């Protein structure tokens, strides 16, 4: 929540940013001119038909893709990839099979300064404690020395969140992180992610297909049109935190869900013309 | 339980080998086969033991050429594999040439090598090298090229350089591929070395067999064959054991702990 008279600084801003993959007759417009502004510490969910450019927005925000037109400003400067140290997590947890969970989670510390230059010195002490503190927070206390194949899908996804957060990024980008999990595991992970966000307060941009998930976690939900996507609707979600799974069945919450659903059904039915 | 199955499997394999030699022996005895055509296994083993002092320096020679060719082949294979595994362009550019080269029957290059270097150790080493580097190239390139795109995105978003990704993910992931290809490559190098020795050398087991054959010392020819089989298996086993020790993580999925 921004304070009344000093609004929180902008974490990400897309101004008229569009992305077209390929050139000439092969050009695929993935994202139409999009404007989006996210304040520091906000939790924003992106929903929309599949293929509409949600992942493309995340890749813009992380500097993995440059906008074809317009600009992307992250933390007050134009995005230069490699300079951002953004935390990311995908549906596939991609833990490295030859390392313990603890060492997997410490991987970003091997790459990002200032941790990088201290890695050899602190990997058995301070960094390890840092990893284990995060593991404890996501309910994986004592699993640090296990290998990835010894953990279930839900546990791996918790570890994935830890890896995305270990270097204390100010921006966390999540691309359908819970898409492959069963309903109960997913709901468990919502609470865990909410807890992580409430303690670490990074800016979060979450792509999801699950409208209940968006409503449970986000402070703002952006609905996108079919490809090439643009933002059709921007809802703020005011339910008090910490939210519970029971809240997702209350009338207000269900009404929000219905509204979003109608918007997406509409967007799917009316594909956009050209770029 | 799996241990018992494993043991039983091994017993069957050993039994089959024994059975093979017994059948061979009986076949020769019953048909009265001349030992100028097919000696009995018992004769071959006797010759092997009697002639072992003479064979020993040749065994060392063959092993030395094999290992030299293997070491250079691995070095070349690693460098080429790393280049084409890291860059898609290099991969597409080099692959046709590599495939073309690897499909030349290697016997055909021995005369050329002899022309350049004379007969002896050098062409044997080079033949071993030229056969064994290819599986290394393919496996290194495959290992490097199979990094999950999501993980690459995660690391690039952190500001990782291409080298960071290669060092932390690409290389360790390639290790099982690399060690698996070593055991194949060492067998290939062995084939290459013996091949060249047979055609163009006055040392090595290949040459011993060639000489014995022209003297109609058929039991010695077969003794040489047995030595080759033994060495081939030994090299393969040694490198399989190394593979198992170094890259256990790649196969460890099978023995899931019960929790
Ligand atoms: N590297 C690429 N090259 C060409 N087309 C791409 C590329 N990445 C994404 N696209 C296309 O851009 C569109 C938007 O993709 P994406 O952002 O991944 O959608 P989603 O909303 O499902 O995450 C899709 O139609 C996809 O096929
Ligand atoms: Mg996507």
CATH number at residue B54: 1.10.3720.10
Residue B257 pLDDT greater than 80, yes or no? no
- Is A120 a domain residue? no
Burial of A62 (0-12, 13-18, 19+ CB in 10 A): buried
Say how many C-beta atoms besides its own lie within 10 A of residue B17's C-beta. 9
Residue B17 pLDDT greater than 60, yes or no? yes
Query: What pLDDT score was predicted for residue B259?
Result: 31
- Is A262 a domain residue? yes
Provide the β-strand partners of residue A224: A231
Query: What pLDDT score was predicted for residue A275?
Result: 42
Nearest CA in chain A to B176: A98
Query: What pLDDT score was predicted for residue A80?
Result: 57
Q: Which domain holds residue A220?
A: 6-84+203-235+249-275
Residue A3 pLDDT greater than 50, yes or no? no
Q: Do B155 and A81 touch (CB under 8 A)?
A: no
Structure confidence by residue, pLDDT tens digits, A15-28: 898 999 988 888 88
CA nearest to A57, candidates A22, A23, A86, A26: A86
Residue A21 CB less than 6 A away from ligand 1: yes
Query: Which pLDDT band, with edges at 50, 70 and 90, does B23 fall under?
Result: very high
Strand order of the sheet with strand A171-175? A87-90, A171-175, A203-207, A43-47, A220-224, A231-236
Q: How far apart are CA B221 and CA B201, in angstroms?
A: 16
SS3 per residue for chain B: CHHHHHHHHHHHHHHHHHHHHHHHHHHHHHHCCCCCCCCCHHHHHHHHHHCHHHHHHHHHHHHHHHHHHHHHHHHHHHHHHHHHHHCHHHHHHHHHHHHHHHCCCHHHHHHHHHHHHCCCHHHHHHHHHHHHHHHHHHHHHHHHHCCCHHHHHHHHHCCCCHHHHHHHHHHHHHHHHHHHHHHHHHHHHHHHHHHHHHHCCCCCHHHHHHHHHHCCCHHHHHHHHHHHHHHHHHHHHHHHHHHHHHCHHHCHHHCCCCC
Average pLDDT over residues B205-230: 91
Residue B3 pLDDT greater than 90, yes or no? no
Q: Tokens 């400067």 label which residue?
A: A77
The span from the first CA to the last CA of chain A, in angstroms, equals: 35
**Would the pTM of this model clear 0.90, i.e. be above it?**
no
- Is A213 a domain residue? yes
> Which residues touch A128 (CB under 8 Å, ≥6 apart)?
A102, A106, A144
- Is B1 a domain residue? no
Q: What percent of chain B shows pLDDT beyond 90?
A: 43
ipTM: 0.86
Q: Which domain holds residue B96?
A: 49-254
Q: How far apart are CA A73 and CA A83, in angstroms?
A: 12
Residue A4 pLDDT greater than 60, yes or no? no
CA nearest to A205, candidates A177, A241, A180, A185: A177
- Is A272 a domain residue? yes
Residue A49 CB less than 6 A away from ligand 1: no
- Is B222 a domain residue? yes
- Is B235 a domain residue? yes
Count residue pairs from A and B with Cβ separation < 8 A.
75
Residue A18 CB less than 6 A away from ligand 1: no
- Is B185 a domain residue? yes
Residue A273 pLDDT greater than 60, yes or no? no
Domain count of chain B?
1
Residue A34 CB less than 6 A away from ligand 1: no
CA nearest to A59, candidates A12, A27, A98: A12
Residue B201 pLDDT greater than 90, yes or no? no
Average pLDDT over residues B107-114: 87
Query: What pLDDT score was predicted for residue A83?
Result: 58
Say how many C-beta atoms besides its own lie within 10 A of residue A181's C-beta. 18
Query: What pLDDT score was predicted for residue B85?
Result: 84
Helix (H) or strand (E) holding A254: helix A251-269
Q: Tokens 């690391």 label which residue?
A: B155
CB B150 within 8 A of CB B192: no
Query: Which pLDDT band, with edges at 50, 70 and 90, does A76 fall under?
Result: low
CB A17 within 8 A of CB A56: no
Average pLDDT over residues A2-13: 68
Query: What pLDDT score was predicted for residue B45?
Result: 93
CATH label of the domain that carries residue A225: 3.40.50.300
- Is A19 a domain residue? yes
| 3-state SS, residue A248 | helix
Residue B167 pLDDT greater than 80, yes or no? yes
Residue A112 pLDDT greater than 70, yes or no? yes
Query: What pLDDT score was predicted for residue B250?
Result: 64
- Is B41 a domain residue? no
Q: Which residues of B touch A84 (CB under 8 A)?
A: 157, 159
Residue A84 pLDDT greater than 70, yes or no? no
Helix (H) or strand (E) holding A122: helix A115-122
- Is A34 a domain residue? yes
Query: What pLDDT score was predicted for residue A79?
Result: 60
Q: Do A82 and B154 touch (CB under 8 A)?
A: no
Higher-confidence residue of B104 and A4: namely: B104
Q: Among A69-78, A221-230, A242-251, B15-24, which is the least confidently predicted range?
A: A69-78
**Most confidently predicted of B56-70, B130-144, B188-202:** B56-70
Residue B190 pLDDT greater than 70, yes or no? yes
- Is A26 a domain residue? yes
Which residues, numbered 59 to 118 in chain A, qualify as contacts with chain B under a Cβ-Cβ cut-off of 8 Å? 59, 62-64, 81-90, 92, 94, 96-98, 107-108, 110-112
Query: What pLDDT score was predicted for residue B89?
Result: 85
Q: Ligand 1 center to residue A228 CA distance, Å? A: 9
Q: How far apart are CA A193 and CA A210, in angstroms?
A: 15
Neighbours of ion ligand 2 (CB under 5 A): A 55
Extract the tokens encoding B156: 């690039």
Residue B68 pLDDT greater than 50, yes or no? yes
Query: Which pLDDT band, with edges at 50, 70 and 90, does B141 fall under?
Result: confident
Average pLDDT over residues B61-68: 94
C-alpha distance from A119 to closest chain B C-alpha (Å): 13
Q: What percent of chain A shows pLDDT beyond 90?
A: 48
DSSP A138: T
| Length of chain B, in residues | 259
CB B100 within 8 A of CB B47: no
Q: How far apart are CA B215 and CA B118, in angstroms?
A: 25
- Is B259 a domain residue? no
Residue B258 pLDDT greater than 50, yes or no? no
Structure confidence by residue, pLDDT tens digits, A211-220: 999 999 999 9
Query: What pLDDT score was predicted for residue A5?
Result: 53
DSSP A229: B
Give the angle subtended at the CA of A90 by the CAs of B170 and A43, to the nearest 5°. Answer: 135
B223: phi then psi, degrees, rounded to nearest 5? -60, -40
- Is B199 a domain residue? yes
Higher-confidence residue of A74 and A271: namely: A74
- Is B44 a domain residue? no
- Is A148 a domain residue? no
Residue B231 pLDDT greater than 80, yes or no? yes
Q: Which residues of A touch B257 (CB under 8 A)?
A: 150
Domain count of chain A?
1
């Amino acid at each position: 929540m921004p304070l009344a008279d000093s609004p929180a600084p902008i974490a990400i801003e897309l101004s008229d940013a569009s992305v077209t993959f390929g050139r000439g007759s092969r050009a695929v417009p993935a994202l139409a001119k999009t404007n989006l502004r996210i304040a520091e510490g906000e939790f924003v969910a992106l929903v929309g038909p599949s293929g509409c450019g949600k992942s493309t927005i995340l890749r813009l925000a992380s500097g993995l893709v440059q906008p074809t037109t317009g600009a992307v400003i992250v933390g007050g400067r134009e995005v230069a990839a490699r300079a951002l140290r953004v935390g990311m997590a995908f549906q596939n947890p991609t833990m490295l099979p030859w390392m313990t969970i603890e060492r997997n989670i410490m991987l970003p510390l091997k790459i990002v300064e200032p941790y990088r230059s201290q890695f050899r010195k602190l990997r058995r002490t301070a960094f390890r404690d840092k990893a284990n503190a995060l593991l404890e927070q996501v309910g994986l206390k004592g699993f640090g020395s296990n290998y990835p194949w010894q953990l279930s899908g839900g546990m791996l996804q918790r570890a994935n969140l830890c890896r995305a957060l270990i270097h204390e990024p100010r921006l966390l980008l999540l691309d359908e992180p819970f898409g492959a999990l069963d309903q109960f595991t997913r709901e468990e992970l919502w609470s865990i992610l909410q807890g992580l966000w409430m303690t670490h307060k990074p800016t979060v941009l979450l792509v999801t297909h699950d409208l209940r998930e968006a409503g449970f976690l986000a402070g703002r939900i952006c609905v996108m049109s079919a490809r090439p996507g643009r933002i059709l609707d921007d809802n703020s979600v005011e339910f008090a935190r910490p939210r519970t799974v029971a809240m997702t069945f209350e009338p207000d919450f269900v009404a929000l869900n219905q509204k979003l659903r109608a918007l997406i059904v509409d967007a799917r039915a009316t594909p956009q013309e050209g770029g | 339980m799996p241990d018992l199955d494993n043991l039983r499997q091994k017993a069957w394999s050993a039994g089959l080998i024994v059975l093979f030699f017994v059948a061979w022996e009986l076949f020769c005895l019953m048909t009265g086969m001349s030992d100028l055509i097919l000696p009995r296994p018992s004769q071959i083993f006797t010759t092997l033991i009697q002639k072992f002092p003479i064979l020993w320096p040749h065994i060392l020679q063959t092993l030395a050429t094999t290992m030299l060719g293997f070491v250079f082949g691995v070095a070349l294979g690693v460098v080429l594999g790393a280049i084409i595994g890291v860059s898609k362009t290099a991969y597409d550019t080099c692959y046709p040439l590599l495939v073309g080269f690897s499909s030349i029957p290697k016997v055909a290059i021995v005369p050329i090598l002899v022309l350049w270097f004379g007969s002896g150790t050098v062409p044997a080493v080079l033949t071993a090298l030229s056969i064994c580097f290819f599986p290394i190239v393919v496996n290194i390139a495959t290992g490097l090229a199979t990094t999950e795109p999501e993980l690459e995105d995660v690391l690039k978003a952190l500001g990782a350089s291409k080298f960071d990704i290669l060092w932390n993910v690409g290389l360790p992931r390639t290790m099982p591929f690399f060690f698996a290809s070593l055991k194949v490559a060492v067998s290939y190098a062995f084939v290459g070395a013996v091949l060249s020795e047979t055609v163009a050398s006055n040392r090595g087991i290949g040459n011993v067999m060639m000489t014995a054959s022209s003297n109609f010392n058929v039991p010695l020819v077969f003794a040489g064959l047995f030595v080759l089989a033994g060495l081939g298996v030994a090299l393969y086993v040694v490198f399989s054991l190394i593979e198992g020790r170094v890259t256990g993580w790649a196969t460890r999925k099978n023995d899931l702990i019960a929790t």
